Amino acid sequence: MTDIILITIYSALIISIHYLSNPKIAYKGNIIAFFSVSLALIYNLIYLSATKLLISVFIISLGALIGIILTNKTQTKSLPQNVALLNGLGGLSSTLISITELYLNNFSSPFILSIIYLGSITFTGSLASIIRLNNTPLLISSQKLKYLSLLLLLLTIANLIIIPHSSLIRLFTFIALSSLTGFIFVLSIGKADMPIIISLLNSLSGFITSFIGINTNSILLLITGTLIGASGAILTIIMTKSMNRSLFSVLFHHQTYSISSNSTAQNINKASPKDVAFLLENANKVIIVPGYGMAVSNAEDELKTLSDILTTKYNTDTKFAIHPIAGRMPGHLNVLLAKADIPLSQIYELKDINQEFKTADVAFIIGANDIINPRAQTDSTSPIYQMPILNAKDAKKIIFAKRSLSPGYSGIDNPLFYQENTLFLLGDAKEMTKKVIKELE
Amino acid sequence: MLLLNIFILSAFVGYFSISNITQTLHSPLMSLTNAISGIIIIGGLNLLNPPLPLIYQILLYLAIFFASINIFGGFYITYKMLHLFKPKDKKND
């Protein structure tokens, strides 16, 4: 690749990531990165012979069409699944490329075999993460799955040692076993940790790209791959820090839940939309805490209307508090609120808003549970122990807009439900918010 | 080794590039870096040049297909997300 084009491509990519530090111009970064990758694509296409060029262009166009159709059908609440799928396909692609590379190296390169391994686990791991994100119930315990994946890992190594190099069976079995290992292993990881896994697999596919670059002496793949791999790795670490857990714990510790008692046995204060409206209109300061349940119910537009009525008609100081791991992907809820046109100035991160809860009259918690559960601070047996939480417990009144008393993603009970100053607005988040808005109008 | 030096430098650049990105933009960051990792497609394109048995050509075309979905789907979903953060007067209705 001529140097000038190479330099243009990787410089543009680095600059494009920088644009993402400002929400207002971030969209430009996307455009720059797209042109950069397209330039690399075109530059490599023109060296192909005529037939291969035509076939490649056709296949790339087909892939582009499918990619766009898939994305069009993705709702904002399924963003993490979409990203996981695309990442998995990238992993599959790198595995197929590495198989060809291995052939060109007479099937005897340990380095390429490692790349095939990583590519396989990225692909199947991504598929498993989609299953976990869709909340499909597993029929086997997390612990058993982890032991199973360890067994598969041992079988993979045994396969490499026992079967002779020249046999294609060795390669097939290797790919099959490594794919299975990746799949089972990610299945065994807690649902609440899926954002970390997605980020980790994202980083992994970056490093796979750079390893392929090392193998094929492609400086472009090396630089780009390492860029993606390193940024993904740092993002993963940022996320584990925001949960106050280590990556090791996320990957290898299995959940031990304390069995929560049947929560319907205890008393909760049920409220009607009228009661909630009354509380809200008389409050000076309201902090709205959205969770994944809000996303599932598509209540973001109603939240915008609610916030607008409170601010304009009742002069209430209304703020939104987003926990770093609310939703199923970092920044997931930020995207949802942005979609509803809620101004960035009203949206606060944990460190900026946590002190304000004690002066808040109402904490309106919609579709959220674990992120405000005080047991994260008190209960050392809970899976969310030591995770930083939003201090909704400090507010004078707490309103839960939830469908039921069912435990959140982590499966544990929340003592906030039963407090004197807590009200429950039971029902679908979107419908209930609409009713509250009606009462306020 | 030259390659090792490039690797380490790129890793540092990657680290510093994302240290200024707020939580708000973490989702688009993930989908953007994911889309960029589709650049592996050129690895497949380069291998098409030398003559290969048919089976490997098929594998490569498949690889190019999946990488293309990764690229175009990835940039499109990043576009949809970032479009939401644009200043309002620039957004179309």
- Render pLDDT for B1-48 as a digit per residue (tens, 0 to 9): 888 999 999 999 999 988 888 888 899 999 999 999 999 999 999 999
Chain A residue closest in CA terms to B60 = A97
Q: What is the pTM of this model?
A: 0.89
- According to DSSP, residue A371 is labeled G
**What is the arithmetic mean of pLDDT over A132-160?**
85
Asked if B52 reaches chain A (Cβ–Cβ under 8 Å), the answer is yes
Q: Which residues of B touch A79 (CB under 8 A)?
A: 27, 31, 77, 81
Out of B3, B40, B83, closest to residue A214 by CB: B3
Amino acid residing at B15: Y
Mean pLDDT, chain A, whole residue set: 88
Out of B29, B43, B70, closest to residue A89 by CB: B70
Tokens encoding B20: 């200024």
In the prediction, which pLDDT does A433 show? 86
- A71 and B77 within 8 Å at the Cβ level: the answer is yes
Q: Which residues of B touch A23 (CB under 8 A)?
A: 22, 24-25, 85
For the stretch A157-174, what's the b/e string if a residue is b when 16 or more beta carbons lie within 10 angstroms of its beta carbon?
Answer: eebbeeeeeeeeebbebb
Distance CA B28, CA A241 (A): 20
Chain B residue closest in CA terms to A25 = B86
In the prediction, which pLDDT does A255 show? 59
Tell me what ipTM this predicted complex has: 0.93
Strands A317-322 and A397-402: unpaired
- A96 and B59 within 8 Å at the Cβ level: the answer is yes
- A30 and B75 within 8 Å at the Cβ level: the answer is yes
Write out the H or E segment, with its range, that includes residue A11.
helix A3-18
- What confidence tier does B89 reach under pLDDT thresholds 50, 70, 90? low
Q: Using one digit for the tens of pLDDT, what is the confidence trace for A49-72?
A: 999 999 999 999 999 999 999 999
Short-list A178, A167, A173, A159, CA closest to A119 = A178
Tokens encoding A77: 């609440």
> Which residues, 6+ apart, have CB-to-CB distance to A70 below 8 Å?
A82, A85, B69, B73
Q: For the CA atoms of chain B, what is the radius of gyration?
A: 18
Q: Which residues of A touch B15 (CB under 8 A)?
A: 230-231, 234
In the prediction, which pLDDT does B84 show? 84
In the prediction, which pLDDT does B88 show? 67
In the prediction, which pLDDT does A84 show? 96
Dihedral angle, C-alpha B25, B30, B31, B34, nearest 10 °: 150
Tokens encoding A275: 């009661």
Q: Judge whether A352 counts as a catalytic residue.
A: no
- What confidence tier does A244 reach under pLDDT thresholds 50, 70, 90? confident
| Total H helices, total E strands in chain A | 17, 6
Helix (H/G/I), strand (E/B), else coil: A400: strand
Q: Which residues of A touch B28 (CB under 8 A)?
A: 20, 26, 30, 331, 335
Distance CA A323, CA A18 (A): 24
**What is the arithmetic mean of pLDDT over A344-349?**
90
- What confidence tier does A210 reach under pLDDT thresholds 50, 70, 90? very high
In the prediction, which pLDDT does B93 show? 46
Residue among B33, B49, B92 with most chain A CBs within 10 A, to mutate: B33
Asked if B58 reaches chain A (Cβ–Cβ under 8 Å), the answer is no
Asked if B27 reaches chain A (Cβ–Cβ under 8 Å), the answer is yes
- What confidence tier does A158 reach under pLDDT thresholds 50, 70, 90? confident
- What confidence tier does A1 reach under pLDDT thresholds 50, 70, 90? low
Q: Using one digit for the tens of pLDDT, what is the confidence trace for A367-407?
A: 888 888 888 888 877 777 778 888 888 889 999 888 877 77
Distance CA A338, CA A143 (A): 39
Alpha helices by DSSP H, listed for A265-382, are 273-281, 292-297, 300-313, 332-339, 350-353, 375-378
Phi-psi region of A373 (alpha: psi -120 to 50; beta: other; left: phi over 0): beta
Tokens encoding B51: 């003559």
Whether residue A213 is predicted with pLDDT greater than 90 in this model: the reply is: yes
Q: How many CB atoms lie within 10 A of CB A270?
A: 10
The DSSP line for B21-58 is --GGGHHHHHHHHHHHGGGGHHHHHHHTSS---HHHHH
Helix (H/G/I), strand (E/B), else coil: B4: helix
Chain B closest-CA separation from residue A111 CA (Å): 15
- What confidence tier does A288 reach under pLDDT thresholds 50, 70, 90? very high
Asked if B80 reaches chain A (Cβ–Cβ under 8 Å), the answer is yes
Write out the H or E segment, with its range, that includes residue A120.
helix A110-133
Out of A30, A93, A103, closest to residue B56 by CB: A103
In the prediction, which pLDDT does A38 show? 96
Is the Cβ–Cβ distance between A372 and A393 less than 8 Å?
yes
Choosing from A193, A275, A308, A370, the catalytic residue is A370
The DSSP line for A191-255 is GGGHHHHHHHHHHHHHHHHHHHHHHHT-HHHHHHHHHHHHHHHHHHHHHHHHTT--HHHHHHPPP
Whether residue A331 is predicted with pLDDT greater than 90 in this model: the reply is: no
Distance CA A130, CA A333 (A): 18
Q: How many CB pairs under 8 A join A and B?
A: 320
Strands A347-349 and A285-290: unpaired
Out of A96, A232, A341, closest to residue B60 by CB: A96
- Report helix angle B26-36 to A332-339, nearest 10: 110
Longest dimension (CA), chain A: 78
